[in-house]
Amino acid sequence: MEFGLSKNHQRNEKVQQRIQTALDWLDARSTEELLAEPIGPKVIADGVELRFQEYDTRDYAGMTYETHREHIDIHYMIKGAEWVRWADDGDAEPVSPYDPEEEIQRFGHPAFHSKALLTDRHYAIFDPTDLHAAHGMVDGKVGHNHKLCVKIALN
């Protein structure tokens, strides 16, 4: 999440440019254009992949957290609402080994987390050091979301 200790800030110019490329691409399209994109992946530049998703939100108790080693996640809500949660890595027990093919590792709930409400056309950026969990129900009710996860390569 773009919140933390300044000593942890590691974005180099190449990565920052990839983030800006993704955000500029999204800003240049209407909500209707984004909703019309097919579900699944779409590469828009070197090191910038969009993954369009459609799903129902779920209860926090059944969620796991995740981290990645080779990319930054930008969770961008096209239409809908959900709670996204994050914590520093090292604050939760792994529930799966790191999967290099899927580039993911899952964790149980941390002792402490922060959360933000992600709504239409808002985003959250999660670095590899951020445990994060998305798709959280709002006001105890299941909602239906159209979202995309932008994968920003670190190399």
Give 57-89 pLDDT, tens digit per residue.
999 999 999 999 999 999 999 999 999 999 986
9 pLDDT band (50/70/90 cuts)?
A: low
Rounding to the nearest 10 degrees, give the CA dihedral for residues 38, 41, 44, 50. 90
Q: Is residue 57 part of a domain?
A: yes
Looking at residue 52, its pLDDT comes to 98
CB contact at 8 A, 137 and 143:
yes
Q: Which CA distances in Å does 70 have to 132, 142, 155?
A: 15, 32, 7
Can you tell me the distance from the alpha carbon of 8 to that of 2, in angstroms, rounded to the nearest whole number? 10
Of the candidates 29, 114, 128, 19, which has an alpha carbon nearest to the alpha carbon of residue 74?
19
As given in the structure block, the two tokens for residue 104 are 């993911």
Token representation of residue 38? 């097919």
Residue positions counted in the chain: 155
In a domain, 132, yes or no: yes
Residue 33 lies in a domain: yes
pLDDT of 43 higher than 50: yes
Confidence check: pLDDT of 122 > 80: yes
Task: Enter the DSSP assignment of 108.
Answer: -
Q: Is residue 147 part of a domain?
A: yes
Both structure tokens of 119 = 């709504």
Cα(16)–Cα(152) distance, integer angstroms: 9
Does a structural domain hold residue 22?
yes
In a domain, 115, yes or no: yes
Tens digit of pLDDT for each residue in 94-109? 999 999 999 999 999 9
Q: Which domain holds residue 74?
A: 6-153
Of 5-14, 66-75, 116-125, 133-142, the one with minimum mean pLDDT is: 5-14
Q: Looking at per-residue confidence, does 135 or 4 come out higher?
A: 135
pLDDT-derived band at 12, boundaries 50, 70, 90: confident
Please indicate, yes or no, if residue 1 is contained in any of the structural domains. Answer: no
Could you tell me which residues come within 8 angstroms of residue 49 by beta carbon, excluding any fewer than 6 positions away? 41, 42, 43, 150, 151
> Domains in the chain: how many in total?
1
Looking at residue 56, which CATH number applies to its domain? 2.60.120.370
In this predicted structure, the answer to whether residue 6 has a pLDDT above a threshold of 50 is no
Strand, helix or coil at 62?
A: helix
Q: Is the confidence at residue 2, as pLDDT, over 60?
A: no
